[in-house]
């Protein structure tokens, strides 16, 4: 890693940390930056995950007072998410660099679309479930998924029916992870949750679990570029800290639009590059 590469990675990490604290989408900067300095896509993906993980942990700690959901359900979904994170990481490690290069533009496109339309998707899911819940016969409450979701939100029934959904999302998160937060929020909406602070808290915790298990596999397989990861982790922490002080001067909507423009531009670049 030469000085030019180090400066590029540090700047990208500072931006990633700041954006994650304001509007999300930090990996759109950290991941491509690693590729631009010559790291193979799979190692870049793994190294980016490691670099941004401390920021996720810090957010999870900050949200610790918001975990008022049923602990039994939270532990259950957390365990499933960790299993999925391991499975996704193992799937990535068993994917050739050539194949990953071929599917990378589509992964970037999927992540970009999720980031762009994720809020609308979550709102539509919430509206749909709200409409369905009005037509549920209370005599069938023990069998209907929406009713179960309402029970779950109230702190009663179990969430066994949702486990395959969280498992699939966790596998994706361990494999690539772009747009993971949006998918987790949409899934929590399906469970019937409405409190955005609680949802963000649980999303962050599950994100930390998924990426933590993936990182363990990446470390064992020796695909992480540790000097770059350490440098970027410091940059991401600095970016997150600075954003906490200056974010109020920026409107989140403009930050999101900036990320969307960059994300579509990078996606186009990877399609052209092939």
Among 6-20, 61-75, 169-183, 206-220, name the most confident range.
206-220
Higher pLDDT, 212 or 118: 212
Confidence of residue 201 (pLDDT cuts 50, 70, 90): confident
Quick one: pLDDT at residue 156?
35
Task: Give the start-end residues of each E strand in the chain.
Answer: none
pLDDT for residue 155 is more than 50 = no
Global pTM exceeds 0.85: no
- Whole-number average pLDDT of the chain: 80
Quick one: pLDDT at residue 172?
92
Q: What is the mean pLDDT of residues 91-100?
A: 92
Quick one: pLDDT at residue 7?
94
**Any idea which of 10-24, 62-76, 105-119, 160-174 has the lowest mean pLDDT?**
62-76
**Number of residues assigned to the chain:** 274
Burial 121-150 (b: 16+ CB within 10 A, else e): bbeebbeebeeeeeeeeeeeeeebbbbbbb
The encoded tokens of residue 175 equal 């494999």
Give CA 163 to chain center in angstroms: 18
């Amino acid at each position: 890693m030469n000085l030019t590469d180090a400066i590029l990675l540090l700047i990208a990490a500072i931006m990633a940390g700041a954006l994650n604290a304001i509007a999300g989408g930090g990996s759109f900067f950290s991941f491509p930056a690693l590729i631009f300095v010559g790291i193979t896509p799979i190692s870049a993906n793994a190294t980016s995950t490691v670099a941004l993980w401390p920021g996720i942990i810090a957010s999870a700690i900050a949200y610790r007072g918001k975990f008022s959901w049923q602990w039994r359900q939270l532990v259950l979904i957390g365990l499933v998410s960790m299993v999925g994170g391991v499975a996704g990481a193992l799937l990535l490690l068993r994917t050739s660099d050539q194949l990953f290069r071929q599917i990378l533009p589509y992964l970037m496109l999927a992540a970009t679309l999720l980031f762009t339309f994720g809020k609308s998707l979550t709102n539509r899911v919430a509206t749909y479930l709200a409409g369905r819940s009005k037509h549920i016969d209370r005599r069938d409450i023990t069998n209907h998924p929406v009713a179960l979701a309402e029970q779950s939100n109230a702190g009663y029934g179990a969430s066994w029916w949702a486990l395959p959904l969280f498992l699939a999302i966790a596998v994706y998160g361990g494999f690539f992870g772009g747009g993971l937060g949006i998918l987790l929020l949409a899934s929590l909406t399906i469970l019937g949750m409405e409190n955005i602070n609680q949802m963000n808290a649980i999303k962050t915790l599950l994100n930390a679990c998924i990426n933590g298990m993936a990182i363990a596999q990446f470390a064992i397989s020796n695909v992480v570029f540790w000097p770059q990861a350490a440098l970027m982790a410091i940059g991401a922490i600095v970016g997150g800290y600075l954003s906490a002080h200056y974010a109020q001067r920026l409107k989140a909507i403009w930050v999101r639009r900036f990320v969307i423009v960059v994300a579509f531009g990078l996606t186009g670049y990877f399609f052209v590059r092939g």
